[in-house]
Amino acid sequence: MSVVPVIEADVLRRQDPELAEVLLGELTRQSTTLQLVAAENFSSPAVLAALGSPLANKYAEGYPGARHHGGCEIVDVAERVAVERAKALFGAEHANVQAHSGSSAVLAAYAALLRPGDTVLALGLPYGGHLTHGSPANFSGRWFDFVGYGVDAETGIVDHAQVRSLARLHRPKAIVCGSIAYPRHIDYALFREVADEVGAYLIADAAHPIGLVAGGAAPNPVPYADIVCATTHKVLRGPRGGMLLCGSELAERVDRAVFPFTQGGAQMHTIAAKAVAFGEAATPAFTAYAHQVVANARVLAAGLAGEGFVVTTGGTDTHLITVDPLPLGVDGRAARGQLAAAGLVLDCCPLPHGDSRGLRLGTAAVTTQGMGEGEMATIAALLAGVLRGRVDTRRARDEVRDLVGGFPPYPG
Ligand SMILES: *Cc1c(COP(=O)(O)O)cnc(C)c1O
């Protein structure tokens, strides 16, 4: 099996050089610059093979054994395997692996539990809530009445007292815990307690940490939340997609909320690739990977603090770090551009105090490449060197290229 089947098949190159160029160009970009986007990873050749397979041709509305299309008997096996592996991996009674993305999974969770106009309590967007947690630009903000809790402006830690008081005041139908930028473990037991106190459902949007959960490096939300929403492409390292986990009592409502309520035909190539990724995530090698991701993030966070960045919450429990680069003389937005020019690819993010933008970075991708604590110290120095003007852009690009050259994401 070739590393990147579509490219190596050579078929595309002959038929459509313009698009072949794009695929090869992106492969080159990914392997010559440093991928610090916290939501990204390098999925395995086996996952890519499933994605680039003829399963992509198959229409399969419905669920295994109950499809609206003929000829589903083979792809049904892929979905059954994916569901069984997800249930075993996360200790869930039920798994739905059809959600096309993390956002689709959240939409389905709301559809399963809520009616338009219901009140939902979630982390406010300025503090790292996702678009699906009540942004006015998103269906969530338009169809539900969102109330936002925050984080402590000093410590960056979720304000649990505020969660409790807002829950008592607003009596939400659901409480959402989960974030795009929170570096610490989430206290699911506390959220469960508050939800029970006010009679709310608890939805855990574990899009980011679910891969760490799979590897035993973060607490599992499944025993606490009514529904867990997740992505399969972040730390979990599978194909781009979503999933939902829940107890048997909500299984049918969740399945109906995905299909036919919010989606049509399932993407069977992606579901097969999810099954492959769940299989990989159940191995001791993945457990070691997940713990290395966190160890690397801790070293990177400490390195950045040592270089003068203000590290939100003073560190991290996960793959994710957010920092304020202002002490280095530049805000997050400008910093992202300068760093990108040097081949250091990361994101902007909100900061707890809310005055300026910060930087968000993660260690999932670089750890997949095989980098360890030593490389994290090098990366911290490089980031600071570029922003302080100690290293010019051209030299930084060369240093990045040398560094990543030793850790090809797709050897050969
Ligand atoms: C990434 C993320 C999502 C959305 O995932 P997509 O696949 O991009 O739709 C939703 N919620 C949270 C908390 C996320 O981090």
Please state which of the ranges 132-141, 199-208, 347-356 shows the lowest mean pLDDT.
347-356
Whether residues 296 and 169 share a domain: the answer is no
Domain count for the chain: 2
Segment 96-133, tens digit of pLDDT:
999 999 999 999 999 999 999 999 999 999 999 999 99
Verify that 274 and 296 share a domain, yes or no.
no
Q: What is the mean pLDDT of residues 26-54?
A: 97
CB-CB contact of 227 with 201 (8 Å)? yes
Ligand 1, atom 15: closest residue by C-alpha: 180
Q: How far is the centre of ligand 1, averaged over its atoms, from the C-alpha of 210 (Å)?
A: 11
pTM as predicted? 0.96
Strand partners, 95: 245
**How deeply is 334 buried, as exposed, middle or buried, from its count of CB atoms within 10 A (0-12, 13-18, 19+)?**
middle
Mean pLDDT of 69-81: 98
CATH of the domain at 320: 3.90.1150.10
- Residue 289: give the domain boundaries: 284-405
Calculate the CA 42 to chain-centre distance: 13
| 327 and 293 in a common domain | yes
Query: Is there a domain that residue 11 lies in?
Result: no
Per the model's pLDDT, the better-predicted residue between 357 and 250 turns out to be 250
Where does the pLDDT of residue 354 fall: very low under 50, low under 70, confident under 90, or very high at 90 and above? confident
In a domain, 325, yes or no: yes
266 and 320 in a single domain? The answer is no
Question: Do 67 and 211 fall into the same domain?
Answer: yes
pLDDT in tens, 381-410: 999 999 999 999 999 999 999 999 999 999
SS3 61: coil
**Residue 256 sits in the same domain as residue 350:** no
What pairing do the DSSP bridges indicate for beta strands 201-205 and 174-177?
Answer: parallel
Do both 84 and 207 map to the same domain? yes
Q: In the block, which residue shows the tokens 């072949």?
A: 20
User: From CA 227, how far away is CA 96, in angstroms rounded?
Assistant: 11
DSSP SS3 for 203: strand
pLDDT of residue 4: 54
The answer to whether residues 217 and 196 belong to one domain is yes
Among 220, 248, 281, give the residue marking a domain's end.
281
In a domain, 33, yes or no: no
- The reply to whether ligand 1 has any atom less than 6 angstroms from the CB of 400 is no
Taking a C-beta distance cutoff of 8 angstroms, is the pair 364, 409 a contact?
Answer: no
Of 380, 376, 381, 370, the closest CA to residue 405 belongs to 370
Residues 271, 288 within the same domain: no
- Only one residue has tokens 């599992």, namely 220
State the pLDDT at residue 353: 80
pLDDT digits (tens, 9 = 90+) for 282-339: 999 999 999 999 999 999 999 999 999 999 999 999 999 999 999 999 999 999 999 9
Same domain (yes/no): 214, 263: yes
- The residue whose CB lies within 8 Å of the most ligand 1 atoms, and thus the one to mutate among 97, 130, 243, 244, is 130
Boundary residue ending a domain (235, 250, 281): 281
